[in-house]
Amino acid sequence: MNKKDRWAFVGMGLLIAVFPGVALNVKCISHYVDVMVFAGIFSLVSLGLCMLMGYAGQVSMAQAAFFGIGAYSSGILTSRLGWNPWMAMPAGAGVAALVAWIIGVPALRLKGHYLAMATLGFGVIVHIILGEEVKWTGGPSGMVDIPGLQIAGWKLTSEVAWYYMIWSVVFMALLFCLHVIYSRVGRGLRAIHEEEMAAESMGVPTACYKVQIFVFSAILSAIAGSFYTHYVTCLNPGSFNLMWSIRFVLMVMVGGTQSLWGAILGAVLLTFAGNEWLQIFSDFEILVYGAMLLCAALFLPGGLASLVPKVIGVFRNSLTHLCKR
């Protein structure tokens, strides 16, 4: 981790820590704590996807499917088989990891964007299975009465408790990712992104690294799915379709593919957009997302994260101007 990241980490930590205190005291935004729980859950997905897109240079269109695998594993194992949620979570992550590995090994051996295509197909298959396997998944009507989470015998019931729990997890995941990026493996990943042939010639096992990152992104998605399940305590297959996979890709792109901070920013922004601000568009939501994707790609290729240093620069300049006067 470099100095900038350390400051960003502290700054964001403070922001996240004080947010409920502010939001709960202002009536019209008090439900934002709830939205932020979802934002935290989706941040886990976008962090993993950001590692894949920004550092391994690959796109996955199946993050919603991995999210669904995690969600339904938790749902089925806890409500049908009576497992402890904290046991069901790694089980779901394990299934997602195995599946990602099976898809990733052949798709990532090949050069180019075979992973995007393979995951596109896989996402559709998972969505269909979730809708058809009525006996286990409840089919199109989904599952209800899934237990909530408990930490050391203490039930997580309030939104605020969930908020702090999930954002702690997000920070741990972020820390993990930052450690990877600023290390041997991360240098290898960044090298792949810049000059794949040179990276391979300098001893970086490029295909192997891509598979690892893909598996990692699937694990994070599945864990996010488990949290989601226990937070909403009911499931329906609609939350795990292609549209959601696109939304996850969009989160990363809006935030900035090369920035883990951007991935979180994008997740928060799009969660608020989806849950709050874009409700009026209802059926045309997808159009709005399309437009956002287009704008991000055309006008802000570095994502919102690339704006932050600029904003800070402007701020600094105007501050020095003021001081001089």
Task: List interacting residues with other proteins (CB under 8 A).
Answer: 176-177, 179-180, 183-188, 190-191, 194-195, 197-206, 209, 212-213, 216
What is the closest distance, in whole angstroms, from the C-beta atom of residue 45 to other proteins in the complex?
17
What is the closest distance, in whole angstroms, from the C-beta atom of residue 247 to other proteins in the complex?
26
Q: How many angstroms separate the CA atoms of 180 and 200, rounded?
A: 19
Q: If you ran DSSP here, which 8-state letter would residue 151 be given?
A: E
74: nearest Cα among 215, 230, 268: 230
Q: Which is nearer to other proteins, 10 or 198 (CB)?
A: 198
Q: Which is nearer to other proteins, 216 or 289 (CB)?
A: 216
Q: Residue type for 108, please?
A: L
What is the closest distance, in whole angstroms, from the C-beta atom of residue 186 to other proteins in the complex?
7
What is the closest distance, in whole angstroms, from the C-beta atom of residue 324 to other proteins in the complex?
31
Q: Which is nearer to other proteins, 162 or 209 (CB)?
A: 209
Biggest CA-to-CA distance, the chain = 74
43: nearest Cα among 183, 236, 235, 172: 172
Q: Which is nearer to other proteins, 204 or 263 (CB)?
A: 204
Q: Quick one: tokens of 278?
A: 């874009």
Q: Which is nearer to other proteins, 107 or 191 (CB)?
A: 191
Show Cβ contacts of residue 112 under 8 Å, excluding neighbours closer than 6 positions. Answer: none
What is the closest distance, in whole angstroms, from the C-beta atom of residue 88 to other proteins in the complex?
22
What is the closest distance, in whole angstroms, from the C-beta atom of residue 305 to other proteins in the complex?
14
What is the closest distance, in whole angstroms, from the C-beta atom of residue 51 to other proteins in the complex?
10
Q: Which is nearer to other proteins, 142 or 186 (CB)?
A: 186
Q: How far is CA 160 from each of CA 42, 53, 56, 157, 262, rounded to the nearest angstrom?
A: 17, 32, 35, 9, 24
What is the closest distance, in whole angstroms, from the C-beta atom of residue 224 to other proteins in the complex?
17
Q: Which long-range contacts (CB under 8 A, 24 or more apart) does 206-210 make?
A: 207/108, 207/109, 209/56, 209/185, 210/56, 210/57, 210/58, 210/104, 210/108, 210/115
Q: In 3-state terms, what secondary structure has residue 239? A: helix
Q: Which is nearer to other proteins, 188 or 255 (CB)?
A: 188
For helices 32-50 and 159-181, give the axis angle rounded to 10 degrees: 20
Q: Which long-range contacts (CB under 8 A, 24 or more apart) does 267-270 make?
A: 267/39, 267/42, 267/43, 267/45, 267/46, 268/36, 268/39, 268/43, 269/304, 270/42
Place of tokens 């596109």: 120
What is the closest distance, in whole angstroms, from the C-beta atom of residue 312 to other proteins in the complex?
19
Q: Which is nearer to other proteins, 209 or 244 (CB)?
A: 209
151 forms beta bridges with: 154
Q: Which is nearer to other proteins, 199 or 252 (CB)?
A: 199
